[in-house]
């Protein structure tokens, strides 16, 4: 199909076989902060984890959960804005994503010497939309311009985790724990483009890509208290895809170079490789009012192939700092800073598919109100970053011309509650 | 080196424990002794009844140091708390702004019903408790029926001392 | 010279977290983790007390399911009077304490949250006078006043404020409370009848008991003489009780520290024998 169609616009991967588009999550590991207490502390939770949120971060921590049965639930409204500047002839691309979802729920219960629990988490959810029309653009055909170029892009990607956790307090200073999540991921992409040339010829490529993944995500953790009021946590996790089904469908209709239309459908069982995630954290429980915590996480590199396209990801190191302060037994505030760096290798301009590299940095702030055995938390997080992308341009001689500047920002609002018996 | 010093200073500030403040103490027991020294065999300066307030009490171990008639006096910490005496009986309960008083009244009188009503069991069924544990609320009722009125208590104390 | 950009923030922060770390052994695991919102064991409200009493009734009913009440009104009334005398000195003025003698060949005493206190007939048979009975009841009263079980199980009353309703709406809490309650009851039964209190709780109860006894006008030597007699009678200690000689030593130290003088105060041996006749 590729040989018969002339690319009118130097967009990468517009008509390539079945590219993996610039999905919202593909380049970042921190998407939505999870857990009512952890989200306020920017996710710096590996050494804290002593409540239901802990099942997601460090299951060993729930061994130290106080209270009999506890449940916590979070509802998040998550918005992302991504702006690619000067993509085509000075025009920028803008994609927005918004989703409203309950993104964490967990329950812990003592069972003999152990603490067991169950949790449900949605660490990634994006519904990305782009709806733009550009006029009067240059084309690759001499003497002919593009009258109109319309993009309709809709990409949804959600990752659901659900599963049990167990923790054991080995002795006063040491606890171990594990979570075994069932991993379910669904993504749908519809990328519809329409190009109308000044001589009334047109090109209409449309792309559909759907992936359904089932797997497991085991997390093992250790919590150690080397001294009073000090806690150190270590975790290791990896998502292992057990089954995956990807369907791609490309249609093209054009009258450039003669009337032509085609429909290609492909399926693949290829399974995505996820990286190993290692986290280390330290927390200092200074007073019953003040808690300080810091986390470092390391993600291993990825390298996998899908539909003949090779995807390579660099290793990533992220950090987070969190603080929790109680003004009184009834009111507390939590704040934090975090990094959400890109796993994308540096943009060269020679890539054969759309790529972007944006390092995001952000912060979180929440306020909580406590009563005898309940708490309610409201707040949000914000992240911003600048970076580069290659979504347009095939100048082989001067690849640096193919690099666009990108900026992205996202914010999330949380409303959560917890209950102790 | 300077930066490390700053970090240590910051950490130290975080750790600075708040100085122990003087608190208000309320007498909870029926009566309590005010002693000249923190010892049970010290001179008795006086007696304080339930509800007495000591505004500037400083706790030292099992004793609270208070001001009584212009001098230092010691009260046992076991007979005082930092919050006013709580009242639970229906007749004693003072009105409270959020209507807790009403609930208190109904609960106090309905307690046996609540006890029986948990899990929706009828009184007799409660004897056949879950997990094979025998439960006897009839005996509990008999136990609760034995009461000591304030007059009986005073008479009992008066008759003692042999 | 470190430039701002190369200043290693993360290692410095971790270092500052480690600097204040005490060299001494870590406290019991969860103690310093507790945040201020959960820390209040001193300040409990009426909802907590009602929950405690409701909870205590459940445990008391189970104890009475295992052991029969001694069927002698005179004895039961007497024990309640002695208990009331000591209870007057405690800071749980909102509770109505109930005392009972139960039939058992084990020398023991039990207390439940909310103020239900049991002494076995074998224990009463071993006592010589009212001061000894007051000492045993004072020890059990101390457990209730210090709220040992309630704190151990983190038992709290339900809050019915608007905030809690909103929380229930968001979080979806439900019948789990009832299930949790019953589990707490079972755990408490284990604590009371089998495993026993923590060692430091027992020592605390002994300390408080001596002071209650002294403040109610009984001879504080009663508790000591009773423990001595029990240690010679009882073969094994069981539970987590410290050894009897340790307890007696502690009592002597507490007495010395607080100016408690033995030998002064009521013993009322005659009244005691008269009331406990049915057991002899």
Q: At what angle do helices C199-215 and C244-257 cross, to 10 degrees?
A: 50
Q: What is the residue-level pLDDT of chain A in tens, covering all 421 positions?
A: 444 556 666 665 443 333 444 344 678 888 778 888 898 999 999 999 998 889 999 999 999 887 655 667 777 787 877 777 776 777 777 888 887 788 888 888 888 788 999 999 998 888 888 888 988 887 778 888 889 989 898 988 899 999 999 999 998 899 999 999 999 999 999 989 898 999 999 989 898 999 999 999 999 999 999 998 999 999 999 999 999 999 989 898 988 888 888 898 989 898 888 999 999 999 999 988 899 999 999 999 988 877 777 788 999 999 999 999 999 888 999 999 999 999 999 888 888 777 889 899 999 999 999 877 788 899 999 999 988 888 777 777 888 878 888 888 888 888 888 877 6
Distance from CA of B15 to the nearest CA of A (A): 6
Chain C residues with CB under 8 Å of A292 CB are: 17
Interchain proximity C20–B104, CB inside 8 Å: no
Question: Is the CA virtual torsion C90, C91, C92, C96 positive or negative?
Answer: positive
Percent of residues in chain C assigned helix, strand, coil, to nearest 5: 60, 5, 35
Chains that touch B (3 or more CB pairs under 8 A): A, C
CB-based contact A262:A251 (threshold 8 Å): yes
Counts for chain B of helices (H) and strands (E), in that order: 4, 7
Q: Name the residue of chain B whose CA is nearest to A289's CA.
A: B14
Residue, of C174 and B161, whose pLDDT is higher: B161
Task: Identify the residue among B7, B10, B12, B15 best suited for mutation to test binding to A, counting A beta carbons within 10 A and taking the highest.
Answer: B15
CA distances (Å), origin A67, targets A110, A198, C17: 9, 71, 27
Token readout for C206 is 């002994």
* Beta partners for residue A11, in sequence order: A392
The pLDDT value given to residue C118: 93
Chain A residues with CB under 8 Å of B14 CB are: 286, 290, 292
C13, C32, C156 member nearest A285 (Cβ): C32
Residues of chain A numbered 284-303 and touching chain B (CB < 8 Å): 286-287, 290, 292
Token readout for A19 is 């590219």
Chain A residues with CB under 8 Å of B15 CB are: 286
Interchain proximity B76–C211, CB inside 8 Å: yes
Chain C residues with CB under 8 Å of A172 CB are: 26, 28-29
Residue C245 CA to residue C260 CA, distance in Å, equals: 19
Phi-psi region of A86 (alpha: psi -120 to 50; beta: other; left: phi over 0): left
Residue C84 CA to residue C98 CA, distance in Å, equals: 9
Distance from CA of A282 to the nearest CA of B (A): 15
Interchain proximity C46–B157, CB inside 8 Å: no
A-B Cβ pairs (cutoff 8 Å, strict): 5
Q: Name the residue of chain A whose CA is nearest to B12's CA.
A: A286
DSSP string, C165-202: HHHHHHH---THHHHHHHHHHHHHHIIIIII---HHHH
By residue count, chain A amounts to 421
* Beta partners for residue A266, in sequence order: A248
* Residue A112 dihedral angles phi and psi, to the nearest 5°: 65, -130
First to last CA, chain B: 76
CB-based contact A108:A65 (threshold 8 Å): yes
Distance from CA of C42 to the nearest CA of B (A): 8
Q: Helix H segments across A317-360?
A: none
* pLDDT 10s digits, C250-275: 888 988 888 888 888 888 888 898 88
Predicted-complex ipTM score: 0.72
Distance from CA of A286 to the nearest CA of B (A): 6
Contact partners, residue A161, CB within 8 Å, separation at least 6: A56, A119, A120, A121, A122, A123, A181, A182, A183, A184, A217
Q: Which residue has the tokens 């690319």?
A: A7
Residues of chain C numbered 219-238 and touching chain B (CB < 8 Å): none
Nearest Cα neighbor of B159 from C137, C274, C211 is: C274
* Residue C168 dihedral angles phi and psi, to the nearest 5°: -60, -35
Nearest Cα neighbor of C56 from C88, C89, C90, C95 is: C95
SS3 at position C67: coil
Distance from CA of C173 to the nearest CA of A (A): 7
C62, C80, C269 member nearest B146 (Cβ): C80
Q: Name the residue of chain C whose CA is nearest to A282's CA.
A: C14
């Amino acid at each position: 199909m590729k040989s018969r169609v002339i690319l009118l616009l130097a967009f990468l991967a517009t008509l390539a076989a079945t590219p993996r588009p610039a999905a919202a999550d593909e380049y970042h590991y921190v998407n939505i902060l999870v857990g009512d207490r952890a989200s306020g502390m920017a996710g710096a939770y590996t050494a804290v984890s002593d409540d239901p949120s802990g099942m997601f971060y460090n299951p060993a921590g729930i061994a130290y959960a106080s209270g009999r049965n506890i449940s916590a639930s979070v509802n998040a409204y998550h918005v992302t804005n991504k702006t690619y500047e000067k993509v085509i002839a000075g025009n920028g691309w803008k994609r927005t994503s918004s989703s409203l979802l309950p993104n964490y729920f967990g329950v812990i219960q003592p069972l003999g010497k152990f603490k067991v629990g169950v949790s449900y988490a949605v660490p990634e959810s994006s519904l990305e939309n782009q709806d733009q029309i550009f006029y009067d653009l240059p084309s690759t055909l001499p003497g002919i311009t593009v009258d109109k170029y319309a993009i309709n892009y809709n990409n949804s990607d959600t990752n659901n985790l659900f599963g049990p956790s167990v923790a054991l307090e080995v002795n006063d200073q040491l606890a171990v724990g594990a979570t075994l999540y069932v991993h379910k991921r669904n993504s749908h992409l519809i990328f519809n483009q329409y190009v109308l040339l000044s001589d009334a010829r047109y090109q209409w490529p449309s792309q559909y890509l759907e992936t359904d993944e089932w797997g497991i995500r085991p997390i093992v953790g250790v919590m150690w208290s080397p001294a009073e009021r000090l806690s150190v946590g270590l975790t290791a996790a990896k998502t292992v895809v057990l089954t995956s089904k990807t369907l791609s469908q490309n249609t093209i209709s054009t009258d450039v170079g003669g009337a032509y239309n085609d429909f290609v459908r492909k399926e693949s069982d290829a399974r995505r490789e996820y990286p190993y995630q290692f986290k280390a954290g330290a927390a200092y429980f200074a007073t019953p009012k003040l808690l300080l915590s810091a986390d470092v996480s390391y993600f291993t590199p990825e390298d996998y192939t899908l539909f003949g396209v090779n995807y390579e990801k660099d290793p990533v190191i992220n950090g987070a700092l969190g603080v929790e302060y109680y003004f009184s037994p009834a009111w507390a505030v939590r704040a934090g800073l975090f990094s959400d760096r890109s796993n994308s290798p540096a943009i060269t301009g020679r890539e054969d598919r759309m790529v972007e590299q944006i390092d995001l940095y952000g912060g979180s702030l929440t306020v909580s109100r406590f009563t005898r055995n309940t708490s309610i938390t409201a707040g949000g997080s914000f992240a911003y970053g600048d970076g580069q992308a290659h979504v347009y341009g095939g100048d082989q001689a001067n690849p640096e011309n193919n690099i666009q500047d990108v900026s992205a920002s996202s914010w999330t609002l949380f409303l959560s509650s917890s209950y102790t018996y | 080196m300077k930066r490390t010093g700053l970090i240590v200073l910051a950490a130290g500030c975080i750790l600075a424990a708040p100085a122990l403040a003087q608190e208000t103490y309320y007498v909870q027991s029926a009566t309590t002794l005010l002693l000249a020294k923190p010892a049970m065999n010290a001179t008795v300066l006086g007696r304080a009844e339930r509800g007495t307030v000591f505004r500037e009490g400083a706790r030292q171990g099992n004793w609270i140091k208070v001001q009584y008639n212009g001098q230092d006096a010691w009260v046992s910490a076991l007979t005082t708390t930092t919050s006013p005496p709580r009242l639970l009986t229906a007749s004693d309960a003072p009105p409270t702004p959020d209507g807790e008083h009403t609930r208190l009244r109904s609960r106090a009188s309905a307690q046996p019903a609540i006890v029986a009503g948990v899990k929706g069991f009828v009184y007799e069924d409660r004897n056949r408790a879950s997990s094979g544990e025998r439960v006897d609320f009839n005996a509990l009722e008999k136990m609760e029926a034995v009461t000591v009125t304030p007059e009986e208590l005073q008479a009992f104390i008066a008759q003692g001392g042999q | 010279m470190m430039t701002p950009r190369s200043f290693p923030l993360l290692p410095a922060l971790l270092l500052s977290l480690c600097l204040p770390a005490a060299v001494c052994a870590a406290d019991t695991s969860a103690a310093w983790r507790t945040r201020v919102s959960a820390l209040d064991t001193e300040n409990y409200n009426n909802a907590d007390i009602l929950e405690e009493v409701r909870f205590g009734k459940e445990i008391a009913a189970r104890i009475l399911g295992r052991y029969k009440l001694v069927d002698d009104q005179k004895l039961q009334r007497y024990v309640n009077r002695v208990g009331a005398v000591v209870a007057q000195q405690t800071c749980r003025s909102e509770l109505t304490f109930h005392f009972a003698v139960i039939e058992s060949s084990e020398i023991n005493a039990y207390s439940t949250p909310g103020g239900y206190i049991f002494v076995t007939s074998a224990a009463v048979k071993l006592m010589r006078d009212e001061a000894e009975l007051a000492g045993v009841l004072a020890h059990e009263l101390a457990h209730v006043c210090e709220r040992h079980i309630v704190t151990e199980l983190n038992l709290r009353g339900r809050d019915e404020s608007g905030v809690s309703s909103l929380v229930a709406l968001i979080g979806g809490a439900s019948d789990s409370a009832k299930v949790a309650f019953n589990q707490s009851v079972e755990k408490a039964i284990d604590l009371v009848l089998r495993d026993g209190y923590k060692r430091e709780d027992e020592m605390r109860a002994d300390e408080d008991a001596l002071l209650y006894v002294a403040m109610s006008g009984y001879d504080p030597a009663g508790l000591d003489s009773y423990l001595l007699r029990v240690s010679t009678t009882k073969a094994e200690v069981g539970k987590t009780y410290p050894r009897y000689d340790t307890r007696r030593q502690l009592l002597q130290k507490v007495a010395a520290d607080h100016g408690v003088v033995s030998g002064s105060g009521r013993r009322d041996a005659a009244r005691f024998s008269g009331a406990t006749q049915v057991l002899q």
